[in-house]
Amino acid sequence: MLSQQHIDTVRSTIPLLVSANTLITEHFYNRLFTHHPELQNIFNMSHQSTGRQPTALFNAIAAYATHIDNLEVLTSAVMRIAHKHTSFNIQPSQYDVVGHHLIETLRELVPGAFTPEVEEAWTAAYQQLANIFIKIEGDLYKQNANEQGGWEDFRAFKVISKTPESERVTSFVLAPVDGKKVIDYKAGQYLGIKIKPKDNEFEEIRQYSLSTTANQETYRISVKRESTGQIAGIMSNYLHDQVNVSDTIEAMPPAGDFCFEDKQQPVVLISGGVGLTPMQAVLDTLAKQQYAQPVHYLHACPKASHHSFKEHVNNLKSSLDLNIQTWYEQLDDDQEGVFEGQMVLEPIKDSLPLETGDYYLCGPIGFMMNVKQQLLSLGVSGERIHYEVFGPHQDV
């Protein structure tokens, strides 16, 4: 139980955290992996190399210290992180390991300021936060295990189809090896999958959006091939080049808090690049329900050959009141009905439900930041703008 003295002490260290910035979290991860290299089977090392994970962890620590006496402010962030943790099958014992190395990191980096009083306060604060995550994640694991088709731990799936959707994106349909049902999911959620690529020392776990409506029999993920030779592309290139029909991979139950909410209002789905994958699940779900409200589908990508699911989305016009708008950065001479360049909403604002619609965004961070600012400037209220970030969370 945190005392007021603990709270005051933790908050007093905020300037120290800010001055150290990501040096703390970079040191922490280096220390953690040095003492526990097996944890590289869990962590996405590409996010370590790009700095995204240390930055995300620093922002989370700073936010926790700032709001330690009013944690309700952090509820949505905590739920988002807890869902991500369940896709990695994070277990309570791992919180002890992380806590130990976090405290030792603070001791090593700020020895003069890390007094016994500060150590006691941060130990208590970390334990409080760990207990929150352990409780939420435990409830999610239990819920997933008890649902029809649910399970615990990683489950074996067989690839039953592999279909190119564009020049860069391929879909994989996965069926459980045991032949039993699979748990339903909400449109917008993702699947955590685990593979050990050949010649890799460690296993790789990645999260991929589920790209069609739930059917209790199979899952479909759609994966963009990242640049060859970069650490960020290890998993995607392995899936594209090495994983074939009849191969087996492992998966955790679906997770994620970026979910379509049926408010019986107009829906606007806005995506950039591979950010269209969760939008396919929303579109297919709406079509299955014969959704009566208008649906707007706005997508931007580099060029026509990178445009995934184009024909499928057009076919959904027969099931939905669907308005489609497309932007290509590189436009061919004979392409009609497509905007050239970056997505700009001003020319189509009169066709959008600015006052009543719910807006769902997914794509690169810069893309979503730009689109969100456009929506706000057009009068869309912030609470009606929802977004999903691939990888460690960032505010848009």
Active site residues: 95, 137
Q: Evaluate whether 120 touches 54 at the Cβ level (below 8 Å).
A: no
207 vs 312: CA distance, rounded Å:
24
Which residues, in sequence order, are CB contacts of 134 under 8 Å at separation 6+?
92, 95
When computed from its CA atoms, the radius of gyration of the chain, rounded to whole angstroms, is 22
| Structure-derived torsion over alpha carbons of residues 268, 337, 374, 290, reported in degrees to the nearest 10 | 0
User: What secondary structure does DSSP assign to 206-265, as a single string?
Assistant: EEEEB-S---SS-EEEEEEPPPTTSGGGHHHHHHHHT--TT-EEEEPPPB-S------SS
- CA proximity to 193, closest of 250, 254, 278, 255: 250
96-113: burial string, b at 16+ Cβ within 10 Å, e else: eebbbbbbbbbeeebeee
> How many C-beta atoms lie closer than 10 Å to residue 53's C-beta?
21
Phi, psi (degrees; rounded to nearest 5) at 206: -135, 160
Q: Strand 358-362's sheet: what is its strand order?
A: 339-340, 322-328, 295-301, 267-272, 358-362, 385-388
145 vs 151: CA distance, rounded Å:
4
Residue reference for tokens 């926790």: 64
Residue 203 tokens, joined: 């296993």
254 vs 260: CA distance, rounded Å:
14
Q: Evaluate whether 208 touches 221 at the Cβ level (below 8 Å).
A: yes
Residue 99 tokens, joined: 């806590």
306 vs 224: CA distance, rounded Å:
10
